[in-house]
A and B are shown apart, each in its own frame.
Chain A
Amino acid sequence: MQAEAVNYIKFTLISPEEIKKLSVAKITVPDTYNEEGYPIDGGLIDQRLGVIDPGLKCKTCGGKAKTCPGHFGHIELVRPIIHTEFAKVIYMLLRSTCLSCHKLLLTPEKVAEIKEDISNFAKSEDEEDLTLTLAEDDRNMLIKQLRTIKKCPHCGIVQQKIKFERPTYYYVGGNRIKPDEIRDWLSKISNEDLTLIGIDPGATRPEWFVLTTLLVPPVNVRPSITLESGERSEDDLTHKLVDIIRSNQRLEQDIDAGAPQIIIDDLWELLQYQVTTYFNNETPGVPVSRHRTTKPLKTLAQRLKGKEGRLRYNLSGKRVNFAARTVISCDPTLTVNQIGVPEKIANILTLPVYVTLWNIEECKKMIKDDKKNIVNIIMPNGLRKRITDLNTDDIIKELKPGIILERKLEDGDFVLFNRQPTLHRASIMAHQAKIMQGKTLRMCDAATEPYNADFDGDEMNLHLPQSLEAQAEERYLMQAKDQLLSPRDGRPLLMLQEEELIGLYWLTKDDTYFEKEDAIRMLASVDVYELPKADSNKKYSGKSIISMVIPKDINFEMQGILGKIEIKNGILEKGILDVRAVGASGALLLVEIYKKYGSDITAEFIRKISLLAVYTCSYMGMTLGISNYYPTVKIIEEREKIINEVFDKTNKLLEAYKNKTLNPLLNYTRKETYEMLVLAQLDEARIMLEEPIKKYYTVDNKAYLIPTVKARGGISNLVQITMALGQQSVRGERPSRGYKGRILPYFRKNDKSPQARGFIKSSFFDGLTPIELYMHAMGGRDSTMGKSLLTAVSGYLQRRLIHALQDLYVIDDFSVRDASGSLIETIYGGDKLDPTKVKLIENKK
């Protein structure tokens, strides 16, 4: 697919001569358009630099707006200007060379020594054209040494101290040296000397750091925008270039008029400022150049830099066609490997059909019979045609290998599905499309885990890779069903969620029986058309129903959260299928089936059991109401008892603290010790409060069932609803800030009791008192802030890790190499095992 091979890219500077060679126009007029709205010759929108207005022709190449690549112009600066980005390199060179003879401050012996070092290094290398210099560390050492030499070993002149002041001032022994003197100095440094300190004279001569001509970018680099009002608005770069030319002209006029030196210096300074900000408007020590609206100008460096800069925004990230994005919702009838695509999207997105010798007849038939399904045909010369009733016959006649048909998305096509943030490789997976009614993208909820998606309004992206190579990768590497195991730890990524676990609990618990009709209906919904053995009452147990979808010859035993699970010959004999078997804490049954039967059967199994589970849920009626949470008298009594008990303990601690009888823990103050002990005590209250819930609630109460089968949340949520919210925390401590010595003026000063420091006695059911509400808000705000900070921090951590490690890959001898070929690991992981598959082997043992 790659047209040309690029071997390497070398970075060099452009010399003034080269600039002039490149340039097609010398820019002299600090203006853009004349009164008639026509580009001025010699102005910044000179037509020789290329055109952007439709209708005009480029005077250099004759191309129109779309075909002309743009051409460079140049400005001749009256006085030399220092390129600020190189200011530090200039400083380094000035300090490394003699101020009189401009030779490197090294004795000939030392030079010979370094040269020998370099040539020794050269012998070990085979490459001939490698420009040989010292290693970076050695080079820096050498430069550091050069700074300290007081007397030139060549001409014997004593060196004076050279000072550099931001942005572009250089002083030799207290006297400022101007850019033209610096340019002279730098131009006298010999090529040989430059090679010694690592600068490649073939690429860069140091005098080019001081500009005499300035390259003007083509107009299509800085296009002007025509506003609705017909007014033209120029690009920031054009604005800056206008400023440069203006300053340049003023300086020229004053020099010609023989103005006093001070005025010339001032103007020179101004030109320096304009050029500096043209390159980088964030140069330290230089005032920012602004628009009339006080918005800072976006000049060259700003265009490249940062997240929205050219490199990260336009080059590392690319926009694509053949993509769609909408809201997602779930559909339990889909397998993990399927994705429901709305008709509207499927009618717009296309996949190419390459006409070849082998499929030409099919293609003809497709055009004839299924015209609506083909959107475009692309001729070998790149022309796109629509198929209409009129030209059908012609097209069929013309059809030959090399033509590409663009057909609409169909059922079974592979598409890529993605959700941001794309944190790991399972955040983009290939699914098979299924065209559906409706306007949302539909997915199986067993596949939400890898995407970290939910259906509260999340949007996701769909991509249709066009090339055959990409389609092959989708099919063989990226299918969702093949991503069952996570490369992170080898645990399953696809699993049953939330209400499916509740459904499975009801379906597989021991005393669940269904009438014949119900059993038939349930099994028919998962394409099973035979009934299991009925029991003595002519009823069908839930276990026997689910056994119909378990692969027939599987024998499996495991410990679930609610007891042992036993499957014999594909029949669930004992136990309840729970989170450990099919959910988030291991999904061991899924792993077993995957290991034994592969991904297809596993995907089918997931679909079938989740359908059965959802069916059971709706059969049983999974509803919650306020009555599920109504605290009984007993619970309220228990709550009072526990809270009083805890308060007693904290009061005792407080007393001990006040009497100074509380022994401080080692290396803590008494105050810190008290805080720690109280916090531990109040944290314990939360755990103690769970006991009565466990004691008085049963799984008959659906509110209690949900945490028990680990479908969602924990018992602590139930505690907070029915009993007490407990201790609030701000930054891991009891809240303490607000007024002096107290959080709210409601309390006495230095009140250290639990309530004054954010302990909430009420439950959500009771409702909170105003004071408690305030405390709760403090804790809530802290956790919200923490979360948003965490996403930023961990996002940056991930970016850095990826950048550091992205080049590493395994070569065919299983060693890990980086981009330059250096050895990172001799054998990947020590045993060349794929971490994705490690769990499969471990289970075997």
Chain B
Amino acid sequence: MNDDENKKNSYNVVPGEPVGVIAAQSLGEPSTQMMLRVFHSAGIGSIITTRGIPRVMELVDARKTPSSPSTTIRFNEAIKKDYEQVRKIWKSLEEITLMYVIKDFEENFRAGTLTFILDKEKLEYYELTPKKIFTKISKMESLEASTEGEYKFIIKYRGKGKTIYNMRVAFNRLLSSVLFGVPGIKKATIHQDEKDKSFYIITAGSNLEELMKIEGVDKWNIYCNDPFEVLEHYGIEATRNIIANELIDIIEEEGLTVNFRHIGLIVDTMSHSGKIKGVGRHGIAGEKESVFARAAYEETVKHFINACVFGEKDFLKGVAENILLGKQVNVGTGIVTIGIKNEDLKKIKPVEIEQGKKKEE
């Protein structure tokens, strides 16, 4: 090995290095400096997303429903610089409920009716007609719709048990039914990329399945911050990258830096089984092989009891269980053992020591 190569190798990790602990500390230590604020908006009127520690917890726990899912939609070459086209798509994204296009409504519980008048301007804006709405409403369960004039609707409750509660539930369901837009998309805003001047849309709420169907959307450039949504449509590798990306984003937003190797290792551990596992008691830490490692973490009694029932064995390979027994740990300098050949062992002769003088046979 020449000097150059030697120097190059000196930058490598040392075998045995407990990289897991270092990664955990590297994410844990700056988290004491992060903010606890749940919400943070980048500017006035933009999409609000969860940030800071709560978001880190959400990602690292692999929670099934993130508190603020969001999607960034980019478009095909053809239309991405055409504002009007993008705006047209944008208009069709946000979900519009019946409540939103109503001018005025009245509930009459004695008669069991709901009367409302549609807002003409809003209907025109979203290219809806009373007819479309009528066909949509008439499909609903236990409600009977009729019209009076063009814009006035009368809904009659036809379900079981004409109690106020039942009627209220049915009416509310009707009013919050989605007429238009992509279900799950609560809000959308148009942004312009500063570099290539292309337009893109950021949404609050996510629904990759529907969004990918929209014509003009670049399927390979869509970005969703909900790992499980991505897992369903793009697979485990994409999900791993999403989680890592989101973590880095949040950390850097606070003005902190963490080397990607650490984040990468954390997400690799979360995803190496092909599923996304959180780090907590229902994930990696709770599914360890060692009984002691699990018991030392959380739910001590449960793990011991189950270990007895199923006759589990602890092979004492991890860190926690060896600390528990007072043994040397199996990482770092602990992996080093002295090896000696059998024939060499025979050559060693016992040395008698007497008053500081060696007496060899």
Residues of A within 8 A of B (CB): 1-2, 6-13, 85-86, 89, 131, 133, 198-200, 202-204, 280, 301, 304-306, 309, 311-312, 315-316, 318, 357, 360-361, 400-401, 421, 423-425, 469, 473, 477, 487-491, 665-668, 673, 676-677, 680, 731-732, 786, 789-791, 793-795, 797-798, 800-812, 814, 816, 818-825, 828-830, 832-835, 837-838, 840-841
CB <8 Å contact, A807 and B331? yes
A291 and B38 CA atoms in complex are apart in Å by 44
CB <8 Å contact, B311 and A204? yes
CB distance from A650 to the nearest CB of B (A): 14
CB <8 Å contact, A401 and B356? yes
Tell whether A357 pairs with B358 under 8 Å between CB atoms, given A204-B309, A400-B353, A797-B31.
Answer: yes
- The stretch of B117-125, B147-155, B277-285 in contact with A is B277-285
CB <8 Å contact, B36 and A786? yes
Binary contact track B288-314/A, C-beta < 8 Å → 1, others 0: 111111011100110011011111111
B18: chain A residues within 8 A (beta carbon): 806, 808-809
A823 and B269 CA atoms in complex are apart in Å by 9
Q: What is the number of contacts between chain A and chain B, taking CB atoms within 8 Å? A: 307
B335: chain A residues within 8 A (beta carbon): 809
Find A8's partner among B272, B279, B309, B313 (CB 8 Å cutoff): B313
Find A810's partner among B16, B264, B315 (CB 8 Å cutoff): B16
CB <8 Å contact, B285 and A800? yes
CB <8 Å contact, B19 and A816? yes
Beyond the given pairs A488-B26, A828-B265, 20 more chain A to chain B contacts, judged by CB atoms under 8 angstroms and listed by A's residue number, are A9-B292, A11-B314, A204-B311, A305-B301, A400-B355, A401-B353, A423-B32, A666-B187, A798-B24, A801-B279, A802-B28, A803-B320, A805-B24, A806-B21, A811-B16, A818-B318, A819-B318, A822-B272, A833-B13, A837-B11
CB distance from A369 to the nearest CB of B (A): 19
A488 and B333 CA atoms in complex are apart in Å by 21
CB distance from A397 to the nearest CB of B (A): 10
CB <8 Å contact, B288 and A819? yes
Q: Does B236 reach chain A (CB closer than 8 Å)?
A: no
- The stretch of B108-116, B163-171, B211-219, B254-262 in contact with A is B254-262
A501 and B330 CA atoms in complex are apart in Å by 44
Binary contact track B5-45/A, C-beta < 8 Å → 1, others 0: 00000111111111111111111111110111101100011
A12 and B12 CA atoms in complex are apart in Å by 45
Q: Does B328 reach chain A (CB closer than 8 Å)?
A: yes
A665: nearest chain-B partner, CB-CB: B45
Find B315's partner among A7, A489, A809 (CB 8 Å cutoff): A7
CB <8 Å contact, B285 and A680? no
Q: What are the 10 closest A-B residue pairs judged by CB atoms, nearest first?
A: A808-B20, A200-B311, A203-B311, A798-B28, A805-B20, A819-B318, A829-B261, A801-B24, A11-B307, A804-B279
Tell whether A832 pairs with B12 under 8 Å between CB atoms, given A789-B36, A797-B53.
Answer: yes
A676 and B311 CA atoms in complex are apart in Å by 61
CB <8 Å contact, A809 and B331? yes
A838 and B258 CA atoms in complex are apart in Å by 12
Q: Does B182 reach chain A (CB closer than 8 Å)?
A: no
Q: Does B242 reach chain A (CB closer than 8 Å)?
A: no
16 contacts between A and B (CB under 8 A): A89-B309, A304-B295, A423-B25, A477-B333, A488-B25, A489-B258, A677-B44, A732-B37, A797-B53, A803-B279, A805-B21, A805-B23, A809-B16, A825-B268, A828-B19, A834-B17
Interface size on B, residues (CB 8 A): 98
CB distance from B224 to the nearest CB of A (A): 20
B297: nearest chain-A partner, CB-CB: A803
CB distance from A790 to the nearest CB of B (A): 5
Q: Does B140 reach chain A (CB closer than 8 Å)?
A: no
A841: chain B residues within 8 A (beta carbon): 11
CB <8 Å contact, A798 and B265? no
CB <8 Å contact, A199 and B311? yes
Residues of B within 8 A of A (CB): 10-32, 34-37, 39-40, 44-45, 53, 56-57, 60, 94, 186-187, 189, 257-262, 264-266, 268-269, 272, 279-280, 283-285, 288-293, 295-297, 300-301, 304-305, 307-320, 323-328, 330-333, 335, 353, 355-356, 358
CB <8 Å contact, A808 and B19? yes
CB distance from A804 to the nearest CB of B (A): 4
A55 and B150 CA atoms in complex are apart in Å by 103
CB distance from A664 to the nearest CB of B (A): 9
Find B13's partner among A477, A803, A814 (CB 8 Å cutoff): A814
B13: chain A residues within 8 A (beta carbon): 810, 814, 828-829, 832-834
Find B31's partner among A316, A400, A794, A804 (CB 8 Å cutoff): A794
CB <8 Å contact, A10 and B312? yes
CB <8 Å contact, B272 and A823? yes
CB <8 Å contact, A732 and B44? no
CB <8 Å contact, B26 and A487? yes
Tell whether A828 pairs with B257 under 8 Å between CB atoms, given A202-B311, A808-B20.
Answer: no
A204 and B311 CA atoms in complex are apart in Å by 7
CB <8 Å contact, A425 and B22? yes
CB distance from B250 to the nearest CB of A (A): 13
B285: chain A residues within 8 A (beta carbon): 800, 803-804
CB <8 Å contact, B305 and A86? yes
A796: nearest chain-B partner, CB-CB: B57
B261: chain A residues within 8 A (beta carbon): 828-829, 833, 835
A732 and B39 CA atoms in complex are apart in Å by 8
CB distance from A742 to the nearest CB of B (A): 25
CB <8 Å contact, B301 and A304? yes
CB <8 Å contact, B186 and A667? yes
B316: chain A residues within 8 A (beta carbon): 6-9
CB <8 Å contact, A2 and B328? yes
A824 and B307 CA atoms in complex are apart in Å by 26
CB distance from A791 to the nearest CB of B (A): 7
Q: Among A425, A804, A837, which residue has the most Cβ atoms of chain B within 10 A?
A: A804
CB distance from B88 to the nearest CB of A (A): 16
CB distance from A82 to the nearest CB of B (A): 13
CB distance from A600 to the nearest CB of B (A): 17
Find A11's partner among B14, B269, B300, B304 (CB 8 Å cutoff): B304
A490: nearest chain-B partner, CB-CB: B259
Q: Among B11, B280, B308, B324, which residue has the most Cβ atoms of chain A within 10 A?
A: B308
A824 and B94 CA atoms in complex are apart in Å by 41
CB <8 Å contact, A203 and B308? yes
A838 and B356 CA atoms in complex are apart in Å by 51
CB <8 Å contact, B358 and A797? no
CB distance from B286 to the nearest CB of A (A): 9
B288: chain A residues within 8 A (beta carbon): 807, 819
A814: chain B residues within 8 A (beta carbon): 12-13, 15
CB <8 Å contact, A12 and B311? yes
CB <8 Å contact, B44 and A85? no
CB <8 Å contact, A301 and B28? no
A797: chain B residues within 8 A (beta carbon): 28, 31, 53, 56-57, 60
B269: chain A residues within 8 A (beta carbon): 804-805, 808, 818, 824
CB distance from B295 to the nearest CB of A (A): 6
Tell whether A819 pairs with B356 under 8 Å between CB atoms, given A199-B310, A794-B34, A802-B25.
Answer: no
CB distance from A530 to the nearest CB of B (A): 35
CB distance from B347 to the nearest CB of A (A): 20
Tell whether A667 pairs with B44 under 8 Å between CB atoms, given A6-B325, A316-B320, A808-B269.
Answer: no
CB <8 Å contact, A807 and B318? yes
A819: chain B residues within 8 A (beta carbon): 288-290, 293, 317-319, 330
CB distance from A608 to the nearest CB of B (A): 27
CB <8 Å contact, A805 and B265? yes
A402: nearest chain-B partner, CB-CB: B353
A820 and B186 CA atoms in complex are apart in Å by 45
Tell whether A790 pairs with B53 under 8 Å between CB atoms, given A798-B29, A804-B24, A824-B265.
Answer: yes
A204 and B111 CA atoms in complex are apart in Å by 67
CB distance from A37 to the nearest CB of B (A): 36
A304 and B189 CA atoms in complex are apart in Å by 54
CB <8 Å contact, A425 and B325? no
CB <8 Å contact, A825 and B265? yes
Find A200's partner among B12, B21, B300, B310 (CB 8 Å cutoff): B310
